[in-house]
Amino acid sequence: MTAVSVSGVTKVFNQGRADEVTALSDVDLTVGAGEFVSLIGPSGCGKSTLLRLVADLIAPTTGEVVVAGKPAPKARLDQDYGIAFQQAGLFEWRTVRRNVELPLELRGQSRAARRARAEEMLALVGLDEFADHYPAQLSGGMQQRVAIARALAVQPPLLLMDEPFGALDEMTRERLQTELLGICAKTGTSTVFVTHSISEAVFLSARVVVMSPRPGRITATVDIDLPTPRDENVRQSPAFFDAVTTVRKALRAAA
Ligand code: ADP
Ligand code: MG
């Protein structure tokens, strides 16, 4: 089973206008079931655009996007994935708990089941004491953790994450990276993860997909042969530093 299949995708914004921009050109990407793939590249290279195409938040100009074996719009309707993007995207009028419960509500889960699941997810991201707060009462990093808890709440078969840890301090970030890998391994979740951190991409991924600046293309794919499950020792290993160097070189070659 393939989680995501992007073939021959081009995305042109404002086509035919003076401000036309080709954000992606001829992109092919396959993510296998249970695979963790990171997209890395300089700002503006089309990473978010590619993720938004997979999530069916925008449509490709040419090419095809298949998610969970279905056209992307169908996968969106079927809620086959969870998303956590740069901006936390929380509902200000709902408490933290009720933000996390929202996707469970949409799936018709009982009040008790929702509540238990939300508690579990909030504990995971270290926010169990903030369940009854409103988003505006939290720091940016805490809001982002709520968004991650919400994305994980339904245990989606596919997670789409766009720099979800960008606003977090280094310690929280590393802890959540390890937690995320644990959750994905346990649940067999496939993940497409956008980052501009080389070390984050290497630590998390089975494969790192390197993109070039405009028009965004995939210029290299680096297989990360580090032991799994990945623990804190991996970060100190020579193999980790070698992989970081390989990705850095691929990024330089693409620039
Ligand atoms: P990244 O996430 O890698 O930083 P993006 O995917 O956000 O890059 O953007 C890629 C390119 O597409 C940029 O040049 C950006 O300005 C352009 N772009 C993205 N979204 C839109 C949009 N909705 N309308 C016009 N241009 C856009
Ligand atoms: Mg982006």
Closest CA to 221 of 213, 212, 230, 229: 212
How many C-beta atoms lie closer than 10 Å to residue 79's C-beta?
12
What domains sit in the chain, N to C, each tagged with a CATH number?
Answer: 2-80+161-254 (3.40.50.300), 92-155 (no CATH)
Place of tokens 């969870």: 82
Compute, in angstroms, the gap from residue 94 CA to the centroid of ligand 2. Answer: 27
Minimum CA distance residue for ligand 1 atom 25? 13
Q: What is the pLDDT of residue 205?
A: 98
Minimum CA distance residue for ligand 1 atom 26? 13
Amino acid at site 254: A
Q: What is the pLDDT of residue 245?
A: 97
Summarised one tens digit per residue, pLDDT across range 184-211 is 888 889 999 999 899 999 999 999 999 9
Choice from 49, 53, 57 to test ligand 1 binding pocket (greatest atom count within 8 A of CB) = 49
Q: Which residues of the chain have pLDDT under 50?
A: none
Element counts in the chain: helices (H) and strands (E): 8, 10
Atom of ligand 1 nearest to the CA of 45: 3
Minimum CA distance residue for ligand 1 atom 19? 49
**39 pairs with which residues across the strands?**
194, 209
Q: Is 224 in contact with 207 (CB distance < 8 Å)? A: yes
Q: What does pTM read for this prediction?
A: 0.91
Minimum CA distance residue for ligand 1 atom 10? 46
Q: Is 86 in contact with 162 (CB distance < 8 Å)? A: yes
Burial 115-138 (b: 16+ CB within 10 A, else e): bebbeebbebbebbebbeebbeeb
- Nearest ligand to residue 85 Cα: 2
Closest CA to 151 of 116, 189, 178: 189
- Nearest ligand to residue 45 Cα: 1
Phi-psi map region of 227: left, alpha, beta (phi>0 left; psi -120 to 50 alpha): beta
Beta carbon of 183 within 6 Å of any ligand 1 atom: no
